[in-house]
Amino acid sequence: MMSLSETIWAVVKILIMVGFLFNVGGLLTWLDRRQSAMIQDRIGPNRAVIKVFGIEFRLGGLLHPLADGVKFFFKEDFIPPRGDKLLFAVAPILVMAPVLALIAVIPFGDKLCVDDLWRTTDTGSLLFPAVPRYGSCLIPVARGGIAAIDLQVASLNVGILYVFALAGQGIVGAALAGWSSDNKFSLLGALRAASQMVSYEVTIGMSLVGALMIYGSVRMGDMVRWQGDHAWGIFIQPLAFFMFFMAAVAESKRIPFDLPEAESELVSGYFTEYSGMKFGMFYFAEYMEVVTSSMLLVTIFLGGWQLPFLHRDGLTIDIGTWRALQLPMNHLTVTAIQVCTFFGKVLFLCWIQCFVRWSLPRFRYDQLMKLCWRILLPLSLANILVTGVVYLLLDHAGPVLGNTLQMIGDLTQAVVAIAITYFVLSIVIGLIRPTRRTSWVVGSTAKLAQRFGGTPRSPRMQA
């Protein structure tokens, strides 16, 4: 039975994850419009306004998701008279609930030792660390409380299988929505959605096998720890990363894979007949799927909450056997940094998905199917074989090669550290630097094209 403190911690963790998902989902609807405005040389949403004592706050359009949400609730509800009423009602719930429940197995931090929050390892004496680098905490069971808390809603041993099980429910929701709507466009959209998601489900499953072979576990926490000790998944399974990324975008039915809801062909696809917040649930679930797929990518391929060289006892930079730097930190600081790292990585991947959405045109349906069955599936089968052979060869190669591999792993960590530092610095500089407000006669896209020598159709402009 669960004790009281365990229950409270479970509720707190659920609130953190669900709160993050909801807020970032809402934020992404704003980001998507803002990003498209930037790419298409427009200003973007800026009309929603809050008046406090006569002063107008627009916050760069950030109020729009809020206004949209409120508006959705007060719109007229429409149920097609000849449709299937029960299935019509179940479909939006079936689409939204699994996305929310899916985040249960995603770890957003290492094991938290409540009793050792403020303890720091003494410099030089690694024999008595404040918190062990692996496993549980020093004090097994605290007075009245629990000593070790997994920063993960449910640390299931089936991990990734739970994710697959719930992600598969989205197909049912989309298919039911289209079927029960009594609308030909909805039906076509639902068929396309079911067919597409079912196909890419195979790719998602097969592309991960290579990564699972190396991690040797389906538990999400174990995967993250393995990546912290060796190298991030993206360096070990680069092909699997890109295949999984593509399949994840296809599963969330966004451009370039948005054929089920292709506006120019099918009005709005399988949710054409939904209005108000019922439409909003499909719309919102799509953005939350972007967040959850980013979380999965971060956990499996981008090291989860790991930051290069940051261990539970502080910052230790080891390249091979050479120790470059050691800086002990207390447990609370390390945990806070790790949790922020995880959420930061997730936000970065969400941004990439928005960028992909507004940069690419839509596929044709046969191209979509060809990509899945003729390219991604054979590639993932080949990936399994190559991974198996290479892994076993390296495993039997002897200690010298093993040390070299560890060295290479450490070097990739160094590369990642440098990349993250550069990225964070450029963001900070970009925020501090004063913006130049100039109205251009030519658009920024044309300016970019000109910088790379002009497009073949348009000769170089006279700037």
Partner 1 sequence: MLSTYAPMFMIIAIATLIAGLFYTFATVLGPKNPTPEKMMPFECGSDSVGSRGVKLSVKFYLTAILFVVFDIEAVFVYPWAIQFRQLGWFGLASMIGFLSVVAIALVYVWRKGALEWES
Q: Does 226 bind partner 1 (CB under 8 A)?
A: no
Question: What's the min distance (Å) between Cβ of 153 and partner 1?
Answer: 5
Task: Rule CB under 8 A: choose which of 153, 231, 307, 310 binds partner 1.
Answer: 153
> At 233, which amino acid appears?
G
* CB nearer partner 1, residue 277 or residue 416: 277
**DSSP for 147-160?**
SEE-SSS---SSTH
Q: Does 281 bind partner 1 (CB under 8 A)?
A: yes
* CB nearer partner 1, residue 273 or residue 286: 273
Residue 38 CB partners (closer than 8 Å, separation 6+):
44
CB-based burial label for 440 (10 Å; 0-12, 13-18, 19+): exposed
Q: Does 145 bind partner 1 (CB under 8 A)?
A: no
Answer whether 115's CB lies under 8 Å from 204's CB. no
Q: Which stretch binds partner 1 (CB under 8 A): 117-125, 194-202, 412-420, 450-458?
A: 194-202
Q: Does 209 bind partner 1 (CB under 8 A)?
A: yes
Chain centroid to Cα 326, Å, comes to: 31
Q: Which of residues 391-420 bind partner 1 (CB under 8 A)?
A: 391-392, 395
Strands in 320-408 per DSSP E: 322-328
112 phi and psi, to 5 degrees? Answer: -100, 125
* CB nearer partner 1, residue 162 or residue 309: 162
Q: Does 135 bind partner 1 (CB under 8 A)?
A: no
Other C-beta atoms within 10 Å of 441: how many? 7
What does the alpha-carbon distance between residue 419 and residue 417 come to, in Å, rounded to a whole number? 5
Answer whether 175's CB lies under 8 Å from 261's CB. no
Q: Does 239 bind partner 1 (CB under 8 A)?
A: no
Question: What's the min distance (Å) between Cβ of 289 and partner 1?
Answer: 13
Tokens 């070790």 appear where? Answer: 148
Tokens 């993932």 appear where? Answer: 380
Task: Rule CB under 8 A: choose which of 2, 441, 448, 463 binds partner 1.
Answer: 2
What does the alpha-carbon distance between residue 369 and residue 357 come to, in Å, rounded to a whole number? 19
Task: Rule CB under 8 A: choose which of 38, 138, 172, 267 binds partner 1.
Answer: 267
Question: What's the min distance (Å) between Cβ of 205 and partner 1?
Answer: 4
What does the alpha-carbon distance between residue 172 and residue 290 come to, in Å, rounded to a whole number? 18
Task: Rule CB under 8 A: choose which of 27, 62, 319, 377 binds partner 1.
Answer: 377
Q: Which stretch binds partner 1 (CB under 8 A): 26-34, 38-46, 268-276, 300-308?
A: 268-276
Q: Does 172 bind partner 1 (CB under 8 A)?
A: no
Q: Does 220 bind partner 1 (CB under 8 A)?
A: no
What does the alpha-carbon distance between residue 240 and residue 380 come to, in Å, rounded to a whole number? 7
Give, in degrees to the nearest 5, the angle at Cα 388 between 372 and 409: 100
Q: Does 156 bind partner 1 (CB under 8 A)?
A: yes
* CB nearer partner 1, residue 373 or residue 423: 373
Answer whether 128's CB lies under 8 Å from 122's CB. yes
| Structure tokens belonging to residue 107 | 């770890």
Question: What's the min distance (Å) between Cβ of 80 and partner 1?
Answer: 6
Task: Rule CB under 8 A: choose which of 185, 257, 305, 342 binds partner 1.
Answer: 185
Q: Does 375 bind partner 1 (CB under 8 A)?
A: no
What does the alpha-carbon distance between residue 380 and residue 210 come to, in Å, rounded to a whole number? 8
Q: Does 280 bind partner 1 (CB under 8 A)?
A: yes
# binding residues, partner 1 (CB under 8 A): 85
Q: Does 98 bind partner 1 (CB under 8 A)?
A: yes
* CB nearer partner 1, residue 89 or residue 449: 89
* CB nearer partner 1, residue 114 or residue 315: 114
Question: What's the min distance (Å) between Cβ of 25 and partner 1?
Answer: 12
Q: Does 366 bind partner 1 (CB under 8 A)?
A: yes
Q: Which of residues 65-94 bind partner 1 (CB under 8 A)?
A: 72-78, 80-83, 89, 92-93
Residue 168 CB partners (closer than 8 Å, separation 6+):
201
* CB nearer partner 1, residue 179 or residue 309: 179
Largest CA distance in the chain: 76
What does the alpha-carbon distance between residue 281 and residue 100 come to, in Å, rounded to a whole number? 12
* CB nearer partner 1, residue 93 or residue 461: 93
Other C-beta atoms within 10 Å of 113: how many? 23
Q: Does 96 bind partner 1 (CB under 8 A)?
A: yes
Q: Which of residues 309-348 bind partner 1 (CB under 8 A)?
A: none
Q: Does 10 bind partner 1 (CB under 8 A)?
A: yes
Residue 331 CB partners (closer than 8 Å, separation 6+):
112, 113, 116, 117, 118, 119, 120, 130, 131, 312
